[in-house]
Structure 1
Amino acid sequence: MGIKNFIGFAFGPIASAVLGLITVPVFSWVFSPEDVGRLNILHMVISFCLLLLVLGLDQAYVREFHETSNTSQLLKLCFRPGFYLLLVSASVSLPFSNNLSSWLFCEVDPWFYPLILVCILTSYISRFLSLILRMQERGLAFSISQIMPKASQLILLGVVLWTGATRNFLTLLWITVASTLTVVVVYAWNTRKEWLLALETQPNPDQTRALLKFGLPLMISGLAYWGLTATSTLVLRSQSTLSELGIYSVASKFAGAATIFQSIFTVIWAPMVYKWVAEGVDMVRVDTVARQALSVVCAIFVVTGIFSWLTDYILPVHYISVKYLVLCAIAPPLLYTLSEITCVGIRISRRTKLSVWVTLAALAANVLLNLWLVPKHGASGAVMANALAYMVFFVAGTEASAHVWRQFPRNKLYLCVGFTIAFAVATVLFGPTALIHYALFWLAALPLVGWLFCKEWTELISAGRLCFDQKISSRMLGDKSTYSVKKK
């Protein structure tokens, strides 16, 4: 992938995270913690339905894209089964819509079911259309589509404030619907050639079965992973209060800044590593990437620990504990990113059933930890449980990958991640009562990270300079060729 495409892909997550850091405080000031908690439940429901309906065929599309001669047919093969399942599921769940609304949101409204259904439908379509841009390495178009939801949410929040509209969960639901519709329209326009060609193709049932054989284990793993991420929300909903759920939701959304790293990396990583496999590249380079990613993960933890107290100045007073919680809240996206590298051998070897067992082990740990910690600590217990469960997820997946694929060095990975998670948990537990401000401890860790990963920082800086020099050289060559053509 060239530097231009990399910048294109990186632009979306960075801009989206910046907009997210604006929208989160606005949401927290405009809507009550209870409604913010309900919004968290809505996102949980959408993600669950998307994982179930996609049937793992989104991953099958990514895996087979570089090894098929008809990508349009592949798109239709992967899109169609889940779309039919969506229509059936919508019909079956219709009679229970009020009961589901009451159980999930503690409120009933006739608009809830149709609006949630629109959110699920647009999210499903957007998922596959985004894969087209991702696999074609159209980074800028992909990024613009990622920015649109946050931008439209900010605009609609401004409309709510300006018009004095009712500030309740139904308003939040309308804002979510409008943002997802905006995204699917943009995706549809940017990929119109590809999906129009896909409509004309004739799927082969044998190919569908082969794709499902690859995708269904990943779907099960994805559902288990959803349980891993949703457990805290469900336990807080049942064992605590909607207000605590709102605090947890805001802390998680602030931790969304850490997903810049996750979003950029995961979008680029899977297509790139599968391309390496197809080209017969020496996979030792994966070890180098893992070390470099570890250095970035540790640096993000330290910088967050130094500056998380700034949330006190942009959030209402009832979110004062967020500055402690955000240290554990950033653990899931960062550890997931590391696991994408260290666990890649499971997918390369097509042993995707192992992903199910790895995720189930982490899910079991998360359920037990949440049931133990949430009743006593509320939102603080939920973020600690998540951080520790993702530690289990990372270690189990890494060991499974080393077993079925190839052995690689792991001691430094485990030591650094273990100490970092321990410091994050300590911040949540002892930060509010410590005699010394918690940020000073994280500040003291900054030179340690710089020394421990000196080699990795040098490699990253050198790679950045090389990319920059190549960019300048290509521009100069382009200018010279243009000049020579004009001269002739």
Structure 2
Amino acid sequence: MKHFLKRLVGFSLGPILGAIISLIQVPILNRLLGVNEVGKAYLFQSLIVIIPTYIYFGLDQAYTREYHLYKNKRQLMQLATLIPMIAGVILFIIAIGFDQNISMWLFEDPQYYYIVWYSGVWVLATVLERFLLLTIRMEEKAIEYSMFNFLLKLGTFVVSIGLALLGWRDFKVIVYGLIFGQLFGDLILFIRYRDFLNLTDFEMDLPLLKKMLAFGIPLMIATSLSSSLTAIDNIFIKQYTTSKELGIYNSAIKIINVIGIVKTAFTSFWVPTAYRWYEERKSLKHFKFISDIVLLGLTIIFYGILIFKPVMVFLAGGEEYSDVQYIIGLLSFPHIMYTLSETTTLGIVFSRRTYLNILVSLAAFIPSILINMTLTPTLGYRGAALASFASYIMFYLARTYLSKRTGFYFGQRKQLISIALMGFVAILNAFPIEHIGWINVVFIFLTLAVQTSTIKDAISIRNNPSEWDFD
């Protein structure tokens, strides 16, 4: 168990340091730029970050699936990267042809066409970055993986704050911070792992590439759909409301990414661990306990966020962002549901039935569209937050159910009751209800009471370690 926790802490270090940087950066930039400029910047950010998920073609997931089965890691990585890089170049060329149109839609001015060019370079660098970081992760080099993730966040912070100190006061502060800050970190990563970028001995292996595509394309479709949910929210808010509402919604997302610390750290550590446990034929009770303890941790974080809503408003940028308090509960659910589902969806990847992920993503995507169409025009950012909330609950339920169909399943009664309680209180917090603080406290005890068996199991593991093997 100590070795298990040591690796978890190692993978958590980068996300924690990155979150600290974000918690410093967000309130500073939000105060300096104002809610309208922030809205433009975050719209751009939400759209550009999903582009790589479309052009990976699921080969990033296929790469991790084949990693322990293929001896020549460099050859495998280069093969997996080939199609995404070609797709990125083609997309770059197409974007150049429509650069002014894209600039007009994003920034309400065609003069920023050059940002589209910079973005194309960013996308290509991000593809290489993704596969190199996956290599580090699959080797379970926890500290190194964390440090490179931290470096990427640090680069963004330094560029953004540097531009703000030079007197810049518009959306380009955040946009340039994202693009050039990350490119700086990528440059160091590429130098460190330049051997993996050496194409001297590259050989095309079509049978392996076809095998990886067969595994990855269903995942690409699924990942692209689920990754688009935040972008969909932003598109509907832009279409039906104002840049101010965009700023409030995305500022809430930035602050709530504190739960993203847990999601990123856990998934980075859990994926290679789960694959290894599967090969070692670990007992199902080990997987179940991990799911239960993750639920307990997420529950504590969720209610902590609701109790400290005033702090969240301060971190978002102060009075101008006061409405952030109404949607942080709802916007916690994408992180909570994704993280929890990582413990229940394993049957899909273990069985290689990745096409099931398409159904998972459709189960989340369709409610997102329908709820946004229905509620966002009238409720604005609240409607978009409700869409995100409902979509990710469906995401979790679909992942869990379809994994069960493959034969991997453990009881979900505790999870379902806890999700229902937290979901109800998140909806209550979306509106200015009297005595909401006391209502939150009551629900804290109700939700924790449902999970008392998890605490008992943890005590049992501590007292009887010989009955459990978490190595």
- With the shorter chain as reference, the TM-score category is over 0.9
**Stretch deviating more after TM superposition (184-193 or 387-396):** 184-193
The equivalent residue for 1:328 is 330
Deviation, structure 1 residue 328: 0.8
Q: Which residue of 2 aligns with 1:455?
A: 453
C-alpha displacement at 1:199, in angstroms? Answer: 4.9
SS at 2:109's partner residue? coil
Counterpart-to-counterpart distance in 2, 1:361 and 1:416: 21
**1:439 partnered with 2:440:** no
8 Å CA contact 1:289–1:341 kept in 2: the answer is: yes
Distance 2:196 2:458 in 1: 36
Cα RMSD of the aligned pairs, angstroms, is 2.1
Distance 1:233 1:462, change over 3 A: farther
Contact 2:89–2:124 under 8 Å retained in 1: no
TM-score (norm 2): 0.92
Task: Flag the 1:174–1:104 CA change in 2: closer, same or farther, 3 A.
Answer: same
Output the CA distance in 1 between the equivalents of 2:6 and 2:291. 23
Instruction: From 30, 35, 58, give the equivalent of 2:32.
Output: 30
Relative distance call for 1:50 and 1:463 in structure 2 (3 A) is farther
How many residues in Structure 1 have an aligned counterpart in Structure 2?
Answer: 461
Deviations 1:311-333, CA, capped at 9 Å, x for gaps: 34342322111122111111101
For residues 64-86 of structure 1, what are the alpha-carbon distances to aligned partners after superposition, in whole Å with 9 as ceiling and x for unaligned? 11122222211011011110111
Q: Who is 1:134 aligned against?
A: 137
Corresponding residue for 1:123? 126
Alpha-carbon distance change, 157 to 464 in structure 1, aligned in 2, over 3 angstroms: farther
Instruction: Tell me if structure 2 keeps the 8 A contact 1:133–1:191.
Output: no
* CA gap 1:331/1:236 in 2 versus in 1, 3 angstroms: same
- Superposition deviation, residue 464 in structure 1: 8.2
Deviation string 1:46-76 (CA, Å, 9 cap, x unpaired) is: 2232011111000011111112222221101
What is the Cα deviation at residue 466 of structure 1? Answer: 10
2:162 matched to which residue of 1? 159
Aligned-partner Cα distance in 2 for 1:252–1:125: 27
Give the SS at the match of 1:326. Answer: coil
> CA separation in 2, counterparts of 1:391 and 1:327?
13
Q: Which runs of 5+ in 1 are unaligned?
A: 468-488
Structure 2 Cα separation of the partners of residues 317 and 222 of structure 1: 36
Name the residue aligned to 1:260. Answer: 261
Alpha-carbon distance between aligned partners in 1 of 2:74 and 2:155, rounded to the nearest angstrom: 31
- 1:207 is matched with which residue? 208
Rounded to whole Å, the distance in 2 between the matches of 1:140 and 1:186 is 16
Structure 1 residue 130 displacement after superposition: 0.7
Q: Distance in 1 between matches of 2:61 and 2:200?
A: 20
Residue of structure 2 equivalent to 1:96? 98
State the alpha-carbon separation in 2 of the partners of residues 69 and 160 from structure 1.
Answer: 45
Distance in structure 2 (CA, Å) of the matches to 1:255 and 1:162? 26
Conserved in 2, the CA contact under 8 Å of 1:126 and 1:183?
no
Identity %, equivalent residues: 26
Contact 2:364–2:392, Cα closer than 8 Å, also in 1: yes
Take 2:57 and 2:160, find their aligned partners in 1: how far apart are those partners? Answer: 34
Residues 346 and 405, structure 1, Cα contact 8 Å, conserved in 2 = no
Structure 2 counterpart of 1:369, from 326, 347, 371: 371
Partner of 2:469: none
Match of 1:113 among 98, 116, 137: 116
Cα pair distance change 1:466/1:259, threshold 3 Å: farther
Matches within 5 A, 1:41-56: 41-56=43-58
Cα pair distance change 1:406/1:175, threshold 3 Å: closer
**CA shift in 2, pair 1:183/1:416, >3 Å:** same
Partners of 2:4 and 2:406 in 1: how far apart? 31
Q: Residue 263 of structure 1 aligns to a residue in which SS?
A: helix
- Report the AA paired with residue 278 of structure 2: V
- Code of the aligned partner of 2:404: A
CA distance in 2, matches of 1:149, 1:248: 24
Counterparts in 2 of 1:312 and 1:83: CA distance versus 1, 3 Å? closer
CA distance in 2, matches of 1:312, 1:257: 14
Alpha-carbon distance in structure 2 between the residues aligned to 1:458 and 1:319: 41
Q: Is the 8 A contact 1:23 1:150 kept in 2?
A: no
Structure 1 CA distance for aligned equivalents of residues 25 and 138 of structure 2: 30
CA distance in 2: counterparts of 1:462 and 1:145, whole angstroms: 37
- State the shift of 1:444 in Å: 2.8
Cα pair 2:252 2:324 within 8 Å, conserved: yes
Once the two structures are TM-superposed, the CA of residue 373 in structure 1 deviates from its matched residue by 1.4
Give secondary structure in 1 for the equivalent of 2:257. Answer: helix
Whether contact under 8 Å (1:380, 1:428) holds in the other structure is yes
Unaligned stretches of 5+ residues in structure 2: 466-471
Measure, in 2, the Cα distance between the counterparts of 1:404 and 1:38.
44
CA contact (8 A) 2:39 2:250 kept: yes
- Return the offset for 1:45: 2.5
Q: In terms of Rg, which structure is larger?
A: 1
Q: Deviations over 1:170-200 (max 9, x none)?
A: 333222222111221232233334444x652
Residue 277 of structure 1, CA deviation: 1.8
Aligned equivalents of 2:88, 2:424: Cα separation in 1: 42
Offset from partner CA, 1:83-120 (integer Å, 9 cap, x none): 01111221123211111221233222232221111221
* Secondary structure of the structure 2 residue equivalent to 1:203: coil
Shift of 1:387: 0.6
| Structure 2 CA distance for aligned equivalents of residues 461 and 324 of structure 1 | 37
